[in-house]
Amino acid sequence: MSETVSSLTKEATGYEKEFSSKSSRVLLKQLMKRFPSHEGGDPVVAVNNIDLEIKTGELTTLLGPSGCGKTTTLRMVAGFEIPTSGEIYLGDENVVTKAPNKRDIAMVFQSYALFPHLSVYENILYGLKLKRMTKEQMHDKASKVVELMQLEPMKNRFPNQISGGQQQRVALARAIVIEPRVLLFDEPLSNLDAKLREYMRDELRKLQRRLGITSLYVTHDQGEAMAISDKVVIMNSGYIEQMGTPQEIYEYPASRFVANFIGKSNFMTGNIAAREEEAYVVNVKNESMKIPNPGKQRFQVGDQVYLAVRPESIHLTSCDGQMAGEVTKAVYFGARMEYEVLVNSETLFVEDYNPQKNGMFHEGDRVNVQFDLPSVRLLQD
């Protein structure tokens, strides 16, 4: 493992200067993919008229449950799948009709897809053979990437003689050596164990930032998406549910689907009782709560809404609170406590990240529940 954990991104090698001028934005316009049904039923709409822009140098992640259309979108950008309709721009050029190898894109796969009969160095050199270059230029570029990715000690080994993490670094080196305009990642870390995965995730992000490569990344792992992305795109049944920075998506989810997909959330139903300049008054069961309005929502009096409350935005106290409840479950995790609390016949999930200071409660305890009102979100669906 020592070779694997040596940093991918040591001091600048000068390579990044050559690279950065090649980056460019990706624009998807009304992109759609419909697959014919295999069993004579309705066709499958895998991607449903999506619009998406990935700015130059940004890393955007497609995140969503299995079957939501992430991989199909990525494959259309790569040119492996032909869209039913819509446009794909790389820079200012619509590349929809271009073959994959003419798009100036490189892809990193979950399976690494290295050539087993070629050494690490030959694998990296391989992509350059398709370019019009002298041997000297090819070796110059390959050597720079070997240095950048710290693959020198293993450059003469074959893929089966290095670890999974090292193989993925070679796959990444092979992708960046051709200096593509755009880098595509299809669940690149899924085959690695949890610790290495986290390490590689951070290294990959550092490298991507340093080289400024416009990147589109597919994962179903929300932690990975939050950690590496400039923007996260949440997909659901072929649609884009929401896109934004990780913080926007977490703090301002646009729907219950997003609030539940990124992190956990409690949902309580309520009715808008009054609208004030800076807040909504919402009736929840027999209580009334004043929720500060962050300015993005427009509800009318009488509207039914869902109050989305993150588990860490609910505090338990033995003193004053907004509602009374009973602890039905209490689990100690050291750095945090997790509780289930029965309030007005609904169970709320609560996390306390400072239990030593805030005090611990036990199953059966009567508690008062305090909501951190500025972080409560009102959602319509």
Ligand X SMILES: Nc1ncnc2c1ncn2[C@@H]1O[C@H](COP(=O)(O)OP(=O)(O)OP(=O)(O)O)[C@@H](O)[C@H]1O
User: Which residues of this protein are in contact with ligand X, per CB under 6 A?
Assistant: 35, 44, 46, 64, 66-72, 220
Nearer to ligand X, 209 or 220 (CB): 220
Rounded CA-CA distance 208/184 in Å is 11
CB of 261 to ligand X, least distance (A): 12
CB of 67 to ligand X, least distance (A): 4
Please tell me whether residue 170 adopts helix, strand or coil conformation. helix
Nearer to ligand X, 61 or 266 (CB): 61
Rounded CA-CA distance 369/361 in Å is 12
Nearer to ligand X, 44 or 360 (CB): 44
Nearer to ligand X, 44 or 113 (CB): 44
| Number of residues in the chain | 381
CB of 235 to ligand X, least distance (A): 7
Nearer to ligand X, 32 or 279 (CB): 32
Q: Where are the alpha helices (DSSP H) in the chain?
A: 2-5, 15-20, 70-78, 120-126, 135-148, 164-176, 194-211, 222-228, 246-251, 256-261, 355-358
CB of 71 to ligand X, least distance (A): 3
The pairing of strands 59-63 and 231-236 is: parallel
* Whether 12 contacts 42, CB under 8 Å: no
Rounded CA-CA distance 46/72 in Å is 7
CB of 97 to ligand X, least distance (A): 20
Rounded CA-CA distance 111/92 in Å is 32
Amino acid at 304: Q
Token readout for 278 is 């800076």
Secondary structure of 25-46 in HEC code, one letter for each residue: CEEEEEEEEEECCCCCCCCEEE
Nearer to ligand X, 66 or 134 (CB): 66
